[in-house]
């Protein structure tokens, strides 16, 4: 389920805590066909005293950066590309130094160019950004000349007040200013949150839309996050806020823009889909429009008014450029650029000066890889170096040793090696009677944000796990809970992995050693978890017995579609997930005896 991006979010940053290295994505440019054909120069006049009827507007877009300023490590830093012979090649991509170069190269020769994002620019960030409450990422996005972004669910990780600070600037209310004599300026682009209102007033939390203008060309941008944001963010992050239907909200503001004379409209939607192939260059319109994509964005796209000309999406961390029919049956472009700045989308919108609208039949779009074999943008290198110096005392501290890559985010299997390590760390730390007496631990797969990579990320040496690397794996600083659950509730929780809201896209919990069961994917719904096979330390789960269960506070609140886990009683709050993870690495590895990737034999999968 590597495509299930965001999941838990307890943004509780420990003190100056950690910031993470990350990846933003450099852009490999590729000019769309016809990019220089029409209407450029001073308003496109070409010196003949009249403007051509149409002008090509270049829309560059990306999504789900998650504070990845440095290239993402390991498999999380690759994109898949299908070759002419049908084989699939992994291409290392991402890093803001390259993303900046890609975007700047793509803009050359395009006087009408606007750059937009689909949400989750920050949150679940590596240490380099997360340690500083994502100020480095906002600074980088300002430098990338981002014009506008929608909010994503992760923009709410630290609550509405912190989101307002990222927009408006000012130093952190607890930690203050990070650099002497420098005050954080905030984002110089608008964050749009059309479907998020304040419970008390009913008014939008942030601007619902903005209008980009150049030489009489006007394009409106409406931004929304997924309506289900409260289900995947900690309760504190969305306190006092209401999240509304994406389609109804976009249609409402599209009517408003239309009344104001803005006929060209792009929706930025932090919700997405899953293409039939993970290759970024897959044709998801084969054999017909939108035939190769599924997921929530399909129904959303079919419901959004034809007044909207293109949809930039996100959330699922997938790559696609599809057309999905609008309510009138006309094809409309729907795009997503993977995650972590590994891709960017280049869309050509042909603007008709007489109608002020986009000529929908001529919209062209393609995703491009932010390759790492192009020059780095020097301003981004300086930005990364500056923040790395501030982070170094915390980030570079060794926590443990590994003998090989231990895959988490980059693993597509239901049971992930790093998931087993994390769950075992949580069980071990919370098993003592005075720590909660845990008998089993559950970890949500979306909370694992990276792989543990054997190759050194800096000067620490191969196999060394630094605090920064551990933080990048578990950046939420979720507090751990130990609760009482009955055996019947445990069985229900395991069935909820593959039923209810998780039926279409299962969320397979990572389980601690001792818990075993069979997952039969040939069946449907809750039956995929074969109830009779669920055992703890070799004994069948007793429906009437009470078990002490460890999990992070996000899961303990019923997050990610696990209401059964939210029914726990007799709660004890323990250390943070990151503290337990680091303690486990320290206890189970040395330079001479590094931790090896564990076997993945807890869940027997029948395909």
Instruction: Write the pLDDT tens digit of every residue in 111-158.
Output: 999 999 999 999 999 999 999 999 999 999 999 999 999 999 999 999
Structure tokens at 499: 């039923």
pLDDT given for residue 582 in this prediction = 98
Q: What percent of the chain has pLDDT over 90?
A: 88
pLDDT given for residue 49 in this prediction = 54
pLDDT given for residue 4 in this prediction = 38
Structure tokens at 475: 């950046």
Q: Exposed, middle or buried: residue 593 (CB in 10 Å: 0-12, 13-18, 19+)? A: exposed
CA nearest 398: which of 453, 450, 456, 467?
467
- SS percent in the chain: helix, strand, coil, step 5: 25, 25, 50
| DSSP assignments along 55-82, one per residue | EEEEEEEE---TT--SPPPGGGGEEEEE
Residue partners of 362: CB distance under 8 A and separation at least 6: 348, 350
Task: Report whether pLDDT(47) > 70.
Answer: no
Find the DSSP H helices in 260-319: 296-303
Question: Which residues partner with 80 through β-bridges?
Answer: 90, 279
Condensed to tens digits (0 to 9), the pLDDT of residues 287-337 reads: 989 999 999 999 999 999 999 999 999 999 999 999 999 999 999 999 999
**Phi and psi based region of residue 70 (left: phi greater than 0; alpha: psi -120 to 50; beta: remaining):** beta
Q: In angstroms, how far is CA 272 from the centroid of its own chain? A: 11
Condensed to tens digits (0 to 9), the pLDDT of residues 236-255 reads: 899 999 999 999 999 999 99
How many Cα atoms occupy the beta-carbon half-sphere of 596 within 13 Å? 5
Condensed to tens digits (0 to 9), the pLDDT of residues 353-409 reads: 999 999 999 999 999 999 999 999 999 999 999 999 999 999 999 999 999 999 999
Inter-residue contact 268 to 117 (CB < 8 Å): yes
Task: Report whether pLDDT(226) > 90.
Answer: yes
Find the DSSP H helices in 260-355: 296-303
Give the Cα separation of 548 and 529 in Å (integer). 21
pLDDT band for position 477 (cuts 50, 70, 90)? confident
pTM over 0.85: yes
Q: Give kind and range of the element (H or E) at residue 221.
A: strand 217-225
Inter-residue contact 189 to 149 (CB < 8 Å): yes
pLDDT given for residue 38 in this prediction = 31
Q: Exposed, middle or buried: residue 182 (CB in 10 Å: 0-12, 13-18, 19+)? A: exposed
Give the Cα separation of 549 and 542 in Å (integer). 14
H, E, C per residue of 144-193: CCCCEEECCHHHHCCHHHHHHHHHHCCCECCCECCCCCCCCCCCCCCEEC
Give the Cα separation of 169 and 499 in Å (integer). 43
Task: Report whether pLDDT(262) > 50.
Answer: yes
Q: What percent of the chain has pLDDT over 70?
A: 92
Task: Report whether pLDDT(50) > 50.
Answer: yes
Task: Report whether pLDDT(514) > 70.
Answer: yes
pLDDT given for residue 235 in this prediction = 84
Structure tokens at 349: 């919108």
Overall average pLDDT of the 193-220 stretch: 97
State the DSSP code for 377.
Answer: P
| DSSP assignments along 231-253, one per residue | HHS-GGGGTTEEE--HHHHHHHH
Task: Report whether pLDDT(33) > 80.
Answer: no
Task: Report whether pLDDT(16) > 80.
Answer: no
pLDDT band for position 51 (cuts 50, 70, 90)? confident
Give the Cα separation of 157 and 170 in Å (integer). 18
Q: In angstroms, how far is CA 126 from the centroid of its own chain? A: 12
CA nearest 367: which of 415, 433, 312?
312
Task: Report whether pLDDT(513) > 60.
Answer: yes
pLDDT band for position 14 (cuts 50, 70, 90)? very low
Overall average pLDDT of the 266-293 stretch: 95
Give the Cα separation of 551 and 438 in Å (integer). 10
Task: Report whether pLDDT(37) > 50.
Answer: no
Overall average pLDDT of the 422-426 stretch: 98
Q: Exposed, middle or buried: residue 104 (CB in 10 Å: 0-12, 13-18, 19+)? A: middle
Of the listed ranges 68-77, 510-519, 580-589, the least confidently predicted one is: 68-77
Give the Cα separation of 575 and 565 in Å (integer). 19
Please state, as a whole number, how many other Cβ atoms lie within 10 Å of the Cβ of residue 518: 15
Condensed to tens digits (0 to 9), the pLDDT of residues 182-198 reads: 999 999 999 999 999 99
Q: In angstroms, how far is CA 321 from the centroid of its own chain? A: 18
Please state, as a whole number, how many other Cβ atoms lie within 10 Å of the Cβ of residue 201: 9
Give the Cα separation of 61 and 312 in Å (integer). 7
Between 168 and 3, the more confident residue is 168
Overall average pLDDT of the 55-59 stretch: 98
């Amino acid at each position: 389920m590597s495509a299930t991006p965001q999941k838990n979010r307890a943004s509780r940053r420990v003190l100056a805590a950690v910031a993470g290295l990350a990846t933003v994505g450099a852009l490999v440019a590729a000019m769309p066909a016809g990019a220089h054909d029409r209407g450029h120069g001073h308003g496109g006049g070409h010196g003949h005293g009249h403007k051509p009827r149409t002008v090509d507007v270049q829309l560059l877009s990306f999504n789900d950066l998650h504070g990845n300023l440095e290239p993402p490590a390991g498999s999380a830093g690759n994109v898949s590309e299908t070759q002419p012979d049908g084989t699939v090649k992994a291409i290392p991509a991402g890093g803001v130094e390259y993303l900046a170069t890609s975007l700047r190269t793509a803009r050359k020769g395009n006087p009408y160019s606007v750059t937009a994002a689909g949400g989750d620019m920050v949150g679940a960030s590596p240490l380099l950004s997360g340690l500083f409450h994502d100020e480095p990422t906002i600074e980088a996005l300002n430098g990338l000349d981002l014009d506008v972004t929608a909010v994503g669910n992760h923009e709410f990780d630290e609550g509405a007040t912190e989101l307002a600070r990222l927009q408006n600037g000012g130093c952190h209310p607890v930690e203050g200013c990070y650099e002497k004599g420098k005050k954080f300026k905030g984002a110089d682009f608008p964050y749009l949150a059309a479907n998020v209102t304040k419970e008390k007033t009913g008014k939008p939390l942030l601007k619902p839309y903005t209008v980009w203008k150049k030489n009489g060309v006007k394009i409106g941008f409406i931004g929304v996050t997924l309506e289900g944001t409260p289900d995947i963010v900690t309760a504190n992050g969305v306190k006092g806020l209401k999240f509304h239907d994406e389609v109804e909200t976009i249609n409402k503001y599209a009517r408003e823009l239309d009344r104001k004379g803005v006929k060209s409209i792009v929706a930025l939607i932090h919700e997405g889909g899953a293409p039939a192939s993970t290759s970024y260059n897959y044709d998801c319109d084969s054999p017909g429009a939108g035939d190769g994509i599924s997921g929530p964005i399909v129904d959303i796209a079919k419901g959004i008014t034809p007044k909207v000309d293109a949809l930039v999406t996100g959330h699922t961390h997938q790559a696609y450029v599809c057309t999905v029919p609008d309510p009138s049956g006309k094809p409309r472009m729907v795009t997503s650029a993977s995650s972590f700045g590994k891709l960017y989308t280049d869309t050509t919108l042909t603007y008709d000066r007489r109608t002020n609208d986009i000529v929908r039949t001529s919209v062209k779009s393609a995703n491009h890889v932010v390759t790492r074999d192009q020059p780095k943008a020097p301003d981004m290198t300086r930005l990364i170096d500056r923040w790395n110096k501030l982070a170094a005392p915390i980030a570079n501290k060794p926590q443990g040793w590994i003998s090989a890559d231990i895959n988490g985010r980059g693993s597509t299997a239901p049971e992930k090696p790093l998931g087993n390590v994390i769950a075992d760390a949580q069980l071990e730390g919370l098993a003592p009677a005075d720590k909660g007496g845990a008998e089993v631990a559950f970890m949500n797969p979306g909370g694992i944000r990276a792989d543990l990579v054997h190759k050194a990320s800096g000067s620490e040496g191969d196999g060394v796990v630094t605090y920064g690397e551990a933080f990048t794996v578990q950046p939420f600083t979720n507090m751990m809970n130990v609760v009482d659950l009955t055996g019947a509730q445990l069985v229900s929780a395991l069935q909820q992995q593959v039923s209810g809201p998780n039926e279409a896209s299962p969320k397979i919990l990572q389980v601690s050693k001792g818990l075993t069961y069979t997952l039969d994917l040939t069946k449907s719904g809750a039956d995929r978890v074969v109830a009779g096979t669920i055992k703890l330390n070799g004994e069948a789960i007793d429906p009437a017995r009470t078990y002490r269960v460890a999990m992070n506070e996000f899961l303990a609140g019923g997050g990610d579609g696990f209401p059964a886990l939210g029914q726990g009683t007799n709660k004890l709050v323990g250390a943070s997930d990151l503290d337990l993870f680091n303690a486990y690495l320290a206890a189970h590895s040395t330079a001479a005896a590094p931790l090896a990737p564990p076997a993945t034999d807890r869940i027997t999968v029948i395909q």
